């Protein structure tokens, strides 16, 4: 088990694309919603583990702006799980001093879920442990568009010179403003794509993909990703 005394370099910010719940259920001839249920249980467990390894920021992709295209019963099952696991996690995350922030457009969620989201953020506001960003109704292109609109308004209303804008101005208008860019992005379920996740922030992130399906991604699988990350030679465009 990795801990804060491990000799390995622990990335500051890790992003995880939690993929493979549906396939995990299919392999067991179970409905997809059962896969999501086990996925949500794993979300709770692995978050607590990662918070103990020294990772400072963890961003988990729970629901994308494109996931609304799924059958209504699957979307409803996911919303129900979000409600349930957010309530359950409030206690766990308090014990682990985890600060919770939701990134994405929450206006699309029903009022009860929005309330829960706000409550989870409020009770965790003063915590000093790991920052957990839960990306829900999150899409990176929408996020970049939001930042561009804010900057355009600043140019229009406050006389800002467009030529003075920098890449940092974009970063500081994203949902992740103020946090370091992800060092490592892990994707479970074997696909090799980012699927509209942290596109701007991941310019120099190391990508790690594993065939392991999300409900089966446990502590030792996270450790393997960190060991692999430690073998990478990060040059950030230099030599």
Among 11, 13, 14, 19, binds ligand FPP (CB under 6 A): 19
Q: How far is the CB of 201 from ligand FPP (least distance, A)?
A: 19
Nearer to ligand FPP, 188 or 202 (CB): 188
Q: How far is the CB of 62 from ligand FPP (least distance, A)?
A: 4
The stretch near ligand FPP (CB under 6 A) out of 36-44, 111-119, 196-204, 227-235 is 36-44
The answer to whether 15 contacts ligand FPP (rule: CB under 6 A) is no
DSSP state letters, the chain:
---TT-SSPPPSEEEEE---HHHHHHHTT--HHHHHHHHHHHHHHHHHHHHHHT-SEEEEEEEETTGGGS-HHHHHHHHHHHHHHHHHHHHHHHHTT-EEEEES-GGGS-HHHHHHHHHHHHHTTT--S-EEEEEEEE-HHHHHHHHHHHHHHHHHHH---GGG--HHHHHTTSTTTTSPPPSEEEE-SS----TTSSTTTTTT-EEEE-SS-GGG--HHHHHHHHHHHHH----TT--
Minimal CB distance residue for ligand FPP: 22
Whether 19 is catalytic:
yes
The answer to whether 100 contacts ligand FPP (rule: CB under 6 A) is no
The answer to whether 99 contacts ligand FPP (rule: CB under 6 A) is no
Segment 44-73, which members bind ligand FPP (CB under 6 A)? 62, 67
The stretch near ligand FPP (CB under 6 A) out of 1-9, 15-23, 94-102, 150-158 is 15-23
Q: How far is the CB of 197 from ligand FPP (least distance, A)?
A: 11
- For tokens 């073998």, the residue is 231
Active-site residues: which are they? 19, 67
Q: Which residues of the shown chain bind ligand FPP in the complex (CB under 6 A)?
A: 18-23, 36, 39-40, 43, 62, 67, 81-82, 85-86, 134, 189, 214
């Amino acid at each position: 088990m990795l801990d804060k005394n491990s000799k390995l370099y622990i990335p500051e910010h890790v992003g995880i694309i939690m993929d493979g719940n549906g396939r995990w259920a299919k392999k067991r001839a179970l409905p997809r919603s059962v896969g999501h249920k086990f996925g949500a249980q794993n979300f709770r467990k692995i978050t607590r583990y990662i918070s103990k390894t020294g990772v400072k920021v963890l961003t988990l992709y729970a629901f994308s702006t494109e996931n609304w295209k799924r059958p209504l019963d699957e979307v409803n099952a996911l919303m129900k799980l979000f409600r349930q696991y957010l309530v359950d996690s409030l206690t766990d995350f308090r014990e682990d001093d985890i600060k919770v922030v939701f990134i994405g457009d929450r206006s699309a969620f029903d009022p009860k879920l929005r309330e829960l989201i706000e409550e989870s953020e409020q009770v965790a506001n003063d915590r000093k442990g790991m920052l957990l960003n839960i990306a829900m109704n999150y899409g990176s292109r929408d996020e970049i568009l939001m930042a561009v609109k804010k900057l355009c308004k600043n140019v229009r209303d406050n006389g800002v010179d467009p030529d003075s804008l920098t890449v940092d101005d974009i970063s500081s208008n994203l949902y992740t403003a103020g946090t370091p860019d992800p060092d490592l992005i892990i994707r479970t379920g074997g696909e090799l794509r980012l699927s509209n996740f942290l596109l701007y922030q991941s310019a120099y992130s190391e990508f790690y993909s594993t065939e392991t399906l999300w409900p089966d991604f446990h502590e030792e699988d996270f450790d393997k990703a960190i060991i692999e990350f430690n073998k990478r030679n990060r040059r950030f465009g230099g030599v």
